[in-house]
Amino acid sequence: MKKVTFICNKKQKFSYHLGPQFHGWLMENISEEAADYLHESKINCYSISVSNDDKNVYFTINLLNEVAEKIFSYLVLDKEIDKIVLNNSIQKEFLVLNKQIEELTAKQLTRNFYEGISSREVVVDIMSPISFKVQGDYYFFPDLELMFRNLMQKYNATFENTNIVDNDLLQEILENSKIVSYKVQSSYYPIHKAFVPGTIGRIKIRFKGNQTLTNYTQMLLNFGVFSGIGVKTGMGMGHISIAK
């Protein structure tokens, strides 16, 4: 997996609108056949996020497998890009100041699972609205069953080419983990002319049970930093980080 981040200048107030517009820029700069494939695929092989600080805007695309790398390789890995142009945003041109590429292999991801001693508590920062589709409706309060089921599906799709979830393992995770504190708020994420309800904020998860299970759940969360959690991660929703 590769994480490619374009560090750009910031002239206007940050807006969630940049996520879908960054997605549009990506689709406009790959072949029509590749864009159609991504749109029709049942397994999302990439995620994006857009974040900011006082000076810069960070446009990030996470390439989760070889298919994503093949599709986006020339645009985000090989090509020298000096600016990102988003015609529908207030700030239309974002000058690229730097490009960072991070890589996370399956071996690196699983090393801590087999060898490490993960903490019994982890703090998850929800950086862009997170939401889940449940029986046709959006459910957007942080729910460990929905979160870990979604992460297991994404992980299995990435590394095992299937989105089947081991329900017994999921149940074991739920029996040995709980949210012990949270500070969240609802937030609507604009996608085209619709607004998807979601939640942003911070949650703290505490684990019990054996160390192997704790390591596995935290491996899933570390994977989630790349994959995103929930729906519309290809549009910039569900971006998380793990507090150090």
Q: What's the pLDDT tens digit per position in 35-44? A: 999 988 877 8
The closest of 44, 49, 15 to 187, measured between CA atoms, is 15
**CA 204 → CA 120, 123, 156, 165, 181, distances in Å?**
10, 4, 25, 24, 5
Q: Determine the Cα–Cα distance for residues 17 and 192; give it in Å rounded to an integer.
A: 9
| Half-sphere exposure of residue 95: CA atoms within 13 angstroms, side-chain side | 5
- 233's enclosing H/E stretch is none
What pLDDT shows up at residue 205? 96
Q: What's the pLDDT tens digit per position in 167-187? A: 999 999 999 999 999 999 999
Q: Determine the Cα–Cα distance for residues 201 and 126; give it in Å rounded to an integer.
A: 5
Percent of the chain with pLDDT over 70: 99
Give the pLDDT mean for 27-35: 94
Q: What's the pLDDT tens digit per position in 148-166? A: 999 999 999 988 888 889 9
Q: What's the pLDDT tens digit per position in 52-100? A: 998 999 999 999 999 999 999 999 988 889 999 998 888 899 999 999 9
What pLDDT shows up at residue 94? 94
Kindly list the structural domains of the chain, giving each domain's residue range(s) and its CATH number in brackets, ordered by start: 2-103 (3.30.70.1890), 107-242 (3.30.70.1900)
SS3 55: coil
